[in-house]
Amino acid sequence: MTDVYAIFGFPVSHSRSPAMHNAAFRALDLDAVYVPFAVHPAALPAAISGMRALGIVGANVTLPHKANVMALLDRVEPDARAIGAVNTIFREGDALCGTNTDATGLARALSEAGVELRGSCVVVLGAGGAARATVVGLARAGAKRITVCARRSEEADALKSSLAGVASPCALTSTDLDGSSLARVFSAADLVIQATSATLAASQAADTFARSLPLHALPAHAVVTDLVYKPLQTSVLRAAAERGLCTVDGLGMLLHQGALAFERWTAKTAPIPVMRAALLGNASANP
């Protein structure tokens, strides 16, 4: 009997996850299929009930369901609860359990790219779900200090307060993304992570956002990464490259969070090269 895996989102037709996971199943000769389901927010409880009834083995959860799905599961792992988002559902017997592979996936992607995380000083742009996963993942990987920067200083402060215990012993600080202190924060950074939606599309607004950042203040050794992977070369990465800085695109996080989900579902080592090739092969067709 074919094992069925799913991704729930709205919209979801753009997702690259089906190509990545189905390629992995084929590579390991597993009788399994990964299917995208467009689930309206109002239908999420019914979708989770359907997952239980139909015996769907595992699922990914993407926007806008990552937070709301938590209340529908039997168990949520501590880091996912701290982040406030589940992106992977797996089974323990009859129970549906939630985890978040974004945090560890980002840390793995950066390490793979040669970025030294232990003892680093990191600047995170944004205070939403992606930023929360970033803070948890990099704190777990040994970052020494993480500064959260957001347009609304109260949002950055709230993220700092809510994750201080989870991130310990990493020091968490916060500042205003538009504040005069941002250049000073950048000047001490080893790594800058763009975790807002500002670069999701190639536009004048995205270019303006990139120009507003004090990239000139970064040390020459600093690395800049953007969690957005469509476009792959975002306005921020382009501006950082023009400054002569090392950059890391967002495709690695997508790959590694998917590999971690695959391993949780199947208890098999994810075929990373196959999954990467599937993502790159679909880069022109899928965002």
Catalytic residue annotation: 66
Token pair 């709205």 is found at 10
Phi, psi of 19 (to 5 degrees): -60, -45
Nearest-angstrom CA–CA distance, 195 and 85? 15
**Rounded CA separation 30/102 (Å):** 24
State the Cα angle at 42 between 96 and 76, rounded to 5°.
25
- Identify which of 11, 10, 22 has the alpha carbon closest to the alpha carbon of residue 278: 22
Task: Measure the CA–CA gap between 22 and 14, rounded to whole angstroms.
Answer: 15
The pair of structure tokens assigned to 247 is 């950059």
* Residue located via tokens 């347009």: 151
Q: How far apart are CA 281 and CA 275, in angstroms?
A: 10
User: What span, in angstroms and rounded, lies between the C-alpha atoms of 184 and 236?
Assistant: 19
Tell me the three-class secondary structure of 50-107, residue by residue: HHHHHCCCEEEECCCCCCHHHHHCCEECHHHHHHCCCCEEEEECCEEEEECCHHHHHH
Do residues 88 and 101 touch, judged by C-beta distance below 8 A? yes
